[in-house]
Each structure stands twice: as C-alpha cells, then as structure tokens.
Chain A
Amino acid sequence: RLSQFKAKRSSSDETARREKFLASQKSKRFDRFMWQRGLGVKVFEEPIQQVTVEFVDSSLPAE
C-alpha cells in the first residue's frame, strides 16, 4: 500500500522505459507480420521529414 501511495505515473523512469522498450518490440514485430500478410500497415515508410534547422550551439545553460 505504501508504494501504492507513492506511485506516480512517471512515463520514463527506468522500469517504465524497460516496459516501453519490450512493448515497442512486440508492436514492431506485429506490424511487420501484418505488412507481410498484406493487411495494410505502413511500417516501412520513410518518417515524415520535419522542418530542418541547422544545428547550432545550445543556448541552454551549461551544467
């Protein structure tokens, strides 16, 4: 119950990262099977190109 009390939905802590990783493996494989079966999942399309901005030195504060 104590962990239930302290639990927050943190999307990127270590365990959540691991779970997300495993889930994404499953879904990529599933999409691939669907594509093989001709069931119309677009998995191999190139990602949509975003606005391209030149890399510049970060204006963010240094550590």
Chain B
Amino acid sequence: IAKAEIQHNMWPDVITNLLTKLNTPVDDAKISSLEALGYICEEVEPQHLVQHSNQILTAVVHHMRAEETNVHIKKAAIMALESSLAFCKANFENKVERDTIMTYICSATQTDNIEIKVPALQCLVTTVELYYHHMKDYMQHCYLITHEAMKHQGTDGEESLVLQGIEFWNTLCDKEIELKEDLIDRGGDAAAAAAAGMKVSMHYAKGAHSSLVPILLELLICQDDEDDPDQWGPTKAAVICLELFSSVCRDKVLPLVIRFVETNLKADTWQKRDAALLAFSAVLKHARTEPECVTDVVNRAILPVLELMQDQSVIVRDSLAFLVGRICDEVPGAVLDSQPHLEAVYKCLRSGLGMEPRVATNACWGLNVLSDSAFEHACNTMDESLAKPKTYKLSPVFGAIVADLFQVMLRPDVSKHNLLAASYEAISTFINSAPEDCYQTVQQTTVEILKRLDQSLHHAAQITSKDDLMKLAETQSLMCAVLQACVKGLSRENMESISDQVMEIVLKILQNPSGSMQEVKEDALMTIVKLAESLGPTFEKYCSHVQIHIIAGLKNTAEYHACGVCVGLVGDIARAIKIKILPFCDDYVSCLIMACKDADLDRSVKPNILSCFSDIAMGIGPLFEKYYEATSEMLFHASKMAEKNTSVESPTDYDEIDHINDLREGCLDGYTGIVHALKGDDEKNFAPQVKLIAQQIQHLVSFITAIFHDAELSDSNKRAALGLLGDIAEIFTTDLANIMPATFCNQCVALGYRSKDSATIEITKFAEAKFASIRPAGGMYNNMMG
C-alpha cells in the first residue's frame, strides 16, 4: 500500500508512524515495524524517502548496536539498513555519518551468528555498489571481512557467507569495469580524467587479486557430482568472480590461473581437471579486446587441453566443449590461423556431438561460434567490393558439419539439455555465415527444412495434448529460423523459383494450431520479412495473402512481440514493393494508428510504429499526403513526450532513458521519412506536398533543441536529428533564418562533431553543408514556407 500511496503523497505519516512503533517495548512490534520499513525502503523510489533518511537511519542503526540482544530485531534492522542505503547519499557524503554507518555494518559482520552475518555482508555489497568512491577508508576492513567469509568453503550451512564474500568482489569488479570503460570512452588518460572531476577506478581489484584469486581457484575444486546446474553456489560464483577479475586485470590474474591450469589439467580427480578448465574459460572471458594477452597461452595450451575430450567424466567433457566455444569466440585467431589447431578443434567438437546431451549441446554451440568467427575472419580479409566471402576456413567441412548437425536431431535423447534447439541454432548460424563456395549446402538445407516443416504440419494434425503442441511449436520456430537464414542466403533467381513453396508453408504454419503459439507466429512472420527483403518488387504477389495475418497481428496488441514483427513487416513490404503497397495503406495506417493509441500495447513497440510511418511514406512518396494529418498528429504527441530531459528527471532509470531515446528515434525517423516522401524524387523540383511540412518546422526545432539538452541523448538520436535538420535546410532554404538561426545551427554542428561515430560525423558534415544554404527570403524556394 505504501508503494502505491507514497509516490502520490497520499500517506505522508507512514514513516513517522512506523518509527514511533519502534519505541514500544514489544519486540514483535519492533520487528514488524523494521520489516515494514525495510520493504518500503526497498520498494519505494528513493526520491520519495530521502526526506526521512536521517530519522530512518537513526532508528535502524539504534537497533543494530551491540546491546541489542534480540537477533530477530537486529536482523530486521540490518535488512532495513540495506534497503535504506540508496537514499542515504547525503549521509554518505558526510564523513562522520559515513564512518558511523560503516562501523555498524562492519561490526555486524563480526558476530558468530550467521543470521546476522549474512545480511551484514549483503549490506557491504550494497555499499560498494552505491558508494564505491567513498570506500577508501574502509577497504582494508572490507577486504579482511570478505576474505574471511570466502574461506568458509566446505563448512556446512555457511555457503551463503562464501557467496556474499564473493559477491562483494563481483560487485566491486563490475564497478571497476564500468569505470574502465568510461575512461576508454573519454580517451583513456586517467590523470586528465580525474583532474576534470571524472570518477576513476581506485584499482582495488588489482590490489586484492593476488590473495583472492588463489581462494577462488580453490573454490572451483569444491564441486559435487550432483551439483544442480540451476542452483547458484560457490563454484559458479567463483567462476564469475574470476571472469570479472580477469576483465579488470587480466595480466595479473593470468599467470596465477595458468599455473593452476598446468597443475590440475591432468590431476587424478575430475574435480581438479574440471576446475582447470573452468579457470581457463574464466580467464578468457572478454579477452577479444586484448587478444595479445592470451593468444600465446592459448596457442601453447590448446592441443593438450583438447585431449580432455576423452576424459571419463562427463562434467569435464562438458566444461571442455564450453571452453572450446569460448576460445573460438574470444581468441579466434588461435584456432583459425593454425591449420593443426583448426583441425583439432573441429575433430574435438565433432566427437562432442556424439557424446552425452550436455556435452553435445556445448559442442553445437562451439561449432556455432566457430562458424561465426570464421565468417568474420573471412570478411575482414576479403575484397571490400564483394557482398560475402567466396570461401572461409570451414568451407571444406561445411557440408559435413551441417549433415552432422542434422544427424544430432535423430538422437533419441535430443530433447535433453536443449540439444535440439542448439543443433538447429548451429545450422542457422552456418547457413547465415555460408560463403559462396558453400552455396550448394544452403540449397540442400532449404529443401530439407521445407520438407521437415511440411512433415511437422502433418504431425500437428495428430497432436492432442498441449505439451506436444508446445514442443512442436518450439521445433517449428527453430525450423523457421533456419528457413530465414536460407531465404537470406539464396540467390534471387533461386529464391524466385522456390518462393511460392516457402510462402505456402509459412501461411500454413500461421493457420495451424501451433501457429497460434507466439514464438511460432513471430518466427513465421520473420520468415515473411526475409522473403520480402529477398524478393523485392516481386513480393507484391503475396501481399493480399499476408495482409490478413499482418492486420490480425497489428490488432492483437496483447502479443506485443508478434505485433512488433508485423510493424516491421509492413515497413519491409513498403521498402520492397514501394508504390504498390498503396492499395493496402488505408488498412495498415489505420491499424498502426490504433495500435499507437492503445494504452495497453507494450511501450517498446510504439517507437517502431512511428518509424514505420517513415517506411510507408517513402514507399508511396507524395501520395502520403492522405495520411499526413493523422500520422503527424501521432508524431507530434510522441515527440512532446520524448522532450523529457531524462538526465534530470530520471537519471537512474535506465529503462526509461532507453525508452525515451527509442521514442525520439521513432519520431525523428517518422518525420524524416515523411519529409523525403513529400518532397518527391525530383531533386530539382520538389513536389508541392512538401509545403505541409512547413507548419511542423518550429515544433521540430524546439523538439530537437530540447533533446539536445539531455545529457543522456544517444548518438543515434543525435545523428537522426542532424540528418532531419539538414533535410529541412535543404528544402526550406529561405525563411529558415529566423527559425533556425546561425547560433542554433552552429551548436547542433558542434554537438555532432563531438561524436566518435563516423556515420554521425558524416551526417554532421551533410547538415553543416545544408545549413550554409539557409538565407533570408528571395531564394530559389521562396514560396515553400507559404
């Protein structure tokens, strides 16, 4: 109730009332009040509680003191404190108050009672997350406390202490990675950044790694035969912690890990061999950005490591298959630049396909990643004028791998460990990354997938149970994903000869009972998208057949993912068949407007609807005039909402920031498409309909001015806004001098040039050139504004 009411100021005395209850002599009342405070602090946005922070802190801390003998009261107080930390910023800024809070938290960790110790450690985790830059004076204590907690390995019931100890360092490393990335974004000079007031890393992880990494490595050995893959525990936490430490200071962690790998790779227990593989995988996480650090190590280790594919333990082989995938992903050069390594990796993964489902699933993923990396490798070295590489490193075995992956699907245990999905996904990736010399396999796979989809439809007729229907839907969805890759990969000539068959099967799926399942619907619709992309103008013959499904999708706003795909599909059809979409536009535009107005439609779809107006407009050109009023009304309202300054109004609400940036992009795309559509294709004589835009210019300038003041503005927004301003300047050269004065234009250009993105710079140059043509009345398009 408090969560609902406090934000509307409907229950102003709730906190005071609860605090009063803490003064009663009844322990149960105290516990309940502290718990209620804790829940409120956890649920209510910090800005609504900040005014009470002093009272809450005083009361909570009072019940954490040593004299408090009731464990339940103490525990409730610590948990309430943890939830309060978010709005105690002002208290943390004050050294005396900060010292007090930290003293209470650290003292609470020193009790022998695990009920108190665990939430006290959680408090430390939250503190480092929220107040990293205030931790300097307490770091030595935090280190000792968490170090001790992490050493409780193997102690019954004390696993949660180990987890909290590790989580402290996981959180701290997350923070230091974030700071490292921020610094790189701003040029990489830490001293200059610090001098400019930017927060920089304190390198605590680097300082602590030498004593913590050995503990983490030991924790990797503490595995049990029956460890549940879905259960969080110290080994998994230690793997993540090693990954994070490696991302912060790989050069320091690497030697410790390599020594551990060398010692344990051939050890006599599976736990040690597996720990070696887990540690090796962990240290390679995110190594792609600094391959020079790890390439030598991987080159030396790869062949001995691959031998473990013959290990007796399935857990070890599972970890190995995962490690091979990670090597292919993060250090692809170590595999692709050496023929013996490539052959050994291929052989290892291929043998993994025949092993237990969990190993085979990782082997599928390994092949998946290997194909992606090989394709990228080929793209990086091919002639830029080519659309795709002629060949790549896996070409000689391409057909055999795809055939092997199809074989996996015949296994009786294919439903275990997600193996069926992993094999289909691997085939999708192979087809998506097929170079020219593997074209025949793309064709064969197309035929095979169409055959299987057809069989699945026959199978569907015999299904009676919901479970079986869901399984079928999942498989059909995976097959559609492969079909999408096939459609993308086929030549237009081949595609035209087979498109009727593809469309027929997709329409049948959409009409089938399994087609009502959301995932199948989405993937079937996405296959139509690929078909429209691939066929271009000849897609027109299918328009009347797909219309009913698109309209149904646009109206079914409850299934918002499928609705979103339909929005995209309308855009793709418009791009593919251009003016020929006109007969369908009345229906599409009215459904899109209805969806846009629908308060129940998930907000993520709405920006795409606005962008879709752009695709339709550019498809039909000046004839879009008919829809101008209705669509510009939508764009006007949306852009008014998107003027919100998120850096001021919701600086910590990242979902909101992303959404507002998406909404801005939708508006800018929508307006840009309409501007281009209404001006027509003749570069010298603009269509008269372009005059309609004139009435929007003032609004657009104030919208762009507002969003340019938001520090959270995305680069793509910046790019879209500058492009639109350039387009307007090009059309309405005269009379713009008042609406877009030189100062405004110069500021926009300066903002554009601050971007590091080459596309943004290119558009800024375009806008700058067009701004130069803005001049007082009397020019070529003198009457445009009228």
Contact A17 B481, CB 8 Å, known A32-B575, A55-B447: yes
Contact of B239 with A53 in the complex, beta carbons under 8 Å: no
Interface string of A29-63 (1 = CB under 8 A from B): 11011001101000000111111110111111111
Chain B contacts of A10 at CB under 8 A?
Answer: 365, 368, 422, 425
Verify if B428 is at the interface (C-beta below 8 Å from A). yes
Contact A50 B568, CB 8 Å, known A12-B429, A58-B447: no
Contact of A22 with B432 in the complex, beta carbons under 8 Å: no
Chain A contacts of B643 at CB under 8 A?
Answer: none
Chain A contacts of B763 at CB under 8 A?
Answer: 39
Contact A9 B329, CB 8 Å, known A17-B481, A61-B403: yes
Contact of B493 with A58 in the complex, beta carbons under 8 Å: no
**Cβ of A28 to closest chain B Cβ, rounded Å:** 7
Contact of B402 with A60 in the complex, beta carbons under 8 Å: yes
Q: Tell me, in angstroms, the Cα distance from A47 to B484 when the chains sit together.
A: 17
Contact of A48 with B387 in the complex, beta carbons under 8 Å: yes
Set B236, B451, B665: member contacting A5, Cβ < 8 A: B236
Main secondary structure of the interface of B (DSSP, over half): helix
**Residue of B with least CB distance to A44:** B536
Contact of B436 with A51 in the complex, beta carbons under 8 Å: yes
Q: Tell me, in angstroms, the Cα distance from A61 to B763 when the chains sit together.
A: 51
Q: Tell me, in angstroms, the Cα distance from A51 to B388 when the chains sit together.
A: 13
Q: Tell me, in angstroms, the Cα distance from A33 to B669 when the chains sit together.
A: 9
**Cβ of A3 to closest chain B Cβ, rounded Å:** 10
Contact of A50 with B439 in the complex, beta carbons under 8 Å: yes
Contact of A55 with B618 in the complex, beta carbons under 8 Å: no
Contact A22 B425, CB 8 Å, known A5-B240, A17-B523: no
Contact of A60 with B493 in the complex, beta carbons under 8 Å: no
Contact of A39 with B529 in the complex, beta carbons under 8 Å: no
Q: Tell me, in angstroms, the Cα distance from A12 to B493 when the chains sit together.
A: 26
Verify if B571 is at the interface (C-beta below 8 Å from A). yes
**Residue of B with least CB distance to A40:** B762
Contact of B230 with A28 in the complex, beta carbons under 8 Å: no
Contact A13 B615, CB 8 Å, known A29-B571, A55-B498: no
**Residue of B with least CB distance to A48:** B387
Set A2, A17, A50: member contacting B491, Cβ < 8 A: A50
Contact of B239 with A17 in the complex, beta carbons under 8 Å: no
Question: Interface-forming stretch among B307-315, B404-412, B651-659?
Answer: B404-412
Q: Tell me, in angstroms, the Cα distance from A46 to B403 when the chains sit together.
A: 31
Verify if B352 is at the interface (C-beta below 8 Å from A). no
Contact of B723 with A47 in the complex, beta carbons under 8 Å: no
Contact of A60 with B608 in the complex, beta carbons under 8 Å: no
Contact of B614 with A52 in the complex, beta carbons under 8 Å: no
Chain B contact-residue range equals: 35 or more
Contact of A61 with B407 in the complex, beta carbons under 8 Å: yes
Contact of A22 with B526 in the complex, beta carbons under 8 Å: no
Contact A49 B493, CB 8 Å, known A17-B523, A56-B444: yes
Chain A contacts of B240 at CB under 8 A?
Answer: 1, 4-5
Interface string of B490-526 (1 = CB under 8 A from A): 0111100110000000000000000000010011001
Interface residues of B in 515-556 (CB under 8 A from A): 519, 522-523, 526, 529
Contact A22 B402, CB 8 Å, known A8-B325, A52-B494, A55-B447: no
Verify if B103 is at the interface (C-beta below 8 Å from A). no
Contact of B410 with A1 in the complex, beta carbons under 8 Å: no
Chain A contacts of B669 at CB under 8 A?
Answer: 29
Chain A contacts of B564 at CB under 8 A?
Answer: 18, 22
**Residue of A with least CB distance to B431:** A12
Instruction: Point out which of A10, A30, A55, A62 has the most chain B C-beta atoms below 10 A from its C-beta.
Output: A10
Q: Tell me, in angstroms, the Cα distance from A16 to B509 when the chains sit together.
A: 22
Contact of B451 with A58 in the complex, beta carbons under 8 Å: yes
Interface string of B591-618 (1 = CB under 8 A from A): 0000000000000000010010011001
Interface residues of B in 342-389 (CB under 8 A from A): 365, 368-369, 372, 386-388
Verify if B237 is at the interface (C-beta below 8 Å from A). yes
Chain B contacts of A52 at CB under 8 A?
Answer: 491, 493-494
Verify if B167 is at the interface (C-beta below 8 Å from A). yes
Chain B contacts of A2 at CB under 8 A?
Answer: 230, 232, 236
Contact A25 B236, CB 8 Å, known A12-B432, A53-B440, A63-B455: no
Q: Tell me, in angstroms, the Cα distance from A14 to B726 when the chains sit together.
A: 38
Contact of A60 with B498 in the complex, beta carbons under 8 Å: no
**Cβ of A38 to closest chain B Cβ, rounded Å:** 8
Chain B contacts of A60 at CB under 8 A?
Answer: 402-403, 406, 444-445, 448
Chain A contacts of B484 at CB under 8 A?
Answer: 17
Verify if B476 is at the interface (C-beta below 8 Å from A). no
Q: Tell me, in angstroms, the Cα distance from A8 to B563 when the chains sit together.
A: 28
Q: Tell me, in angstroms, the Cα distance from A19 to B665 when the chains sit together.
A: 16
Interface string of B424-467 (1 = CB under 8 A from A): 01001100100011011001110110011001000000000000
Contact A32 B618, CB 8 Å, known A60-B406, A61-B407: yes
Contact A55 B448, CB 8 Å, known A9-B369, A25-B568, A29-B611: no
Chain A contacts of B497 at CB under 8 A?
Answer: 55
A-B contact pairs, 6 of them (CB 8 A): A1-B236, A21-B568, A29-B614, A36-B676, A49-B491, A55-B498
9 closest A-B pairs by CB: A12-B428, A58-B448, A48-B387, A58-B444, A5-B236, A12-B425, A58-B447, A50-B491, A2-B232
